[in-house]
Structure 1
Amino acid sequence: MNGRALVAWNLRRLRTERGVSQERLAADAGVDRAYVSELEREQGNASVDMLDKLASVLGVTVGQFLAEIPAGASEITPLPAGRKPVRRGAGRS
């Protein structure tokens, strides 16, 4: 498997395991959400500096983006679409 595919799979795996949306990851890393999407779809080419930013936001090492995909690994389940509902009235009388 090539490096771009490893980065794509691991980025999506690490992001979804932590419950972080592409939008939140992009905002915290200071990049456009479309760029994160491109990386996860193997369309973008991330620099080492960019991988460092993404790793920092996700709380992992850069090396984890290049981890081998385990044999028999299943597709990564995407996070639920849409924004989280706003909780109104909690704690109000």
Structure 2
Amino acid sequence: MNGRALVAWNLRRLRTARGLSQERLAADTGVDRAYVSELERGQGNASVDLLDRLAEVLRAPLSEFFAEPIEGQARPEPLPAGRKSGAKH
């Protein structure tokens, strides 16, 4: 898995584990929700500065974005559709 795919996988994994919507994560990091979606689909290319902000909001070390998934591990499922206020942090 390449670096962009690892970031995409782990961004969704971390975000959904914390119950945050893309909209809430985007607002908390100062980017557009569509850009968060692009990142999670492996279509965007995040700067180190943005990864730092994402890690801070997600309360995760920066290295978590580059953690290799366990072989055979299912792709993280998205949160149920609809606007969510996001978890309190």
How high is the TM-score relative to the length of structure 2? 0.91
Partner of 1:5: 5
Partner of 2:15: 15
Runs of at least 5 residues in structure 2 that lack an aligned partner in the other structure: 85-89
The alpha carbon displacement at 1:75 in A equals: 2.3
Cα distance in 2 between the residues matched to 1:78 and 1:36: 13
Matched letter for residue 30 of structure 2:
G
The alpha carbon displacement at 1:78 in A equals: 1.2
Partner of 2:43: 43
Q: Deviations over 1:52-78 (max 9, x none)?
A: 000000000111000011111012121
Alignment of 1:1-93 (within 5 A): 1-84=1-84
Q: Is the 8 A contact 2:21 2:83 kept in 1?
A: no
Q: Is the 8 A contact 2:22 2:36 kept in 1?
A: yes
Cα distance in 2 between the residues matched to 1:13 and 1:36: 13
Tell me which structure has the larger Cα radius of gyration: 1
The alpha carbon displacement at 1:27 in A equals: 0.2
Q: Higher relative contact order by CA 8 Å / sep ≥ 6: 1 or 2?
A: 2
SS at match of 2:8: helix
How high is the TM-score relative to the length of structure 1? 0.87
- Report the RMSD for the aligned CA atoms in angstroms: 0.8
Matched letter for residue 66 of structure 1:
F
Identity of aligned residues (%): 74
Cα distance in 1 between the residues matched to 2:62 and 2:75: 22
Cα distance in 2 between the residues matched to 1:71 and 1:32: 32
Runs of at least 5 residues in structure 1 that lack an aligned partner in the other structure: 85-93
